[in-house]
Amino acid sequence: MSYTVFYMNRKAPEEVHQIIREQMPPGWTLTTPTTGVDYSTQLAGCDFILVADEAIRAEHIAAAPRLRMIQHQGVGYERIDLKACRERDIPVALTPEGTSASVAEHTLLLILATYRHLVRASTGVRNGCWMQWELRKASFDLYAKTLGLVGMGNIGREVAGRAQAFGARIIYYDPWVSPTADAAFTRKESLEALLCEADIVSLHVPVTSENHHLINSNTLRLMKPGAILINTARGKLVDEAALVEALTDGHLAGAALDVLNEEPPDPSNRLLHLENVVVTPHIAAGTRDALTRKMRAAFANLLRFSQGEPLVNVVPELRDLALKEQPCHSTVKN
Which residues are known catalytic residues?
234, 263, 282
Please, are residues 98 and 293 in contact by the beta-carbon 8 Å criterion?
yes
Strand bridging mode 48-51 / 29-31: unpaired
Q: Which of 200, 108, 216, 206 is nearest to 149 (CA)?
A: 200
Q: Which of 21, 17, 47, 44 is nearest to 32 (CA)?
A: 17
Helix (H) or strand (E) holding 201: strand 200-203
The letter for the amino acid at 278 is: V
Tell me the C-alpha to C-alpha distance, in Å, between residue 217 and each of 187, 200, 238, 252, 269: 24, 17, 10, 12, 18
Please, are residues 290 and 101 in contact by the beta-carbon 8 Å criterion?
yes
Sign, Cα dihedral of 77, 80, 84, 90: negative
- SS3 for 2? coil
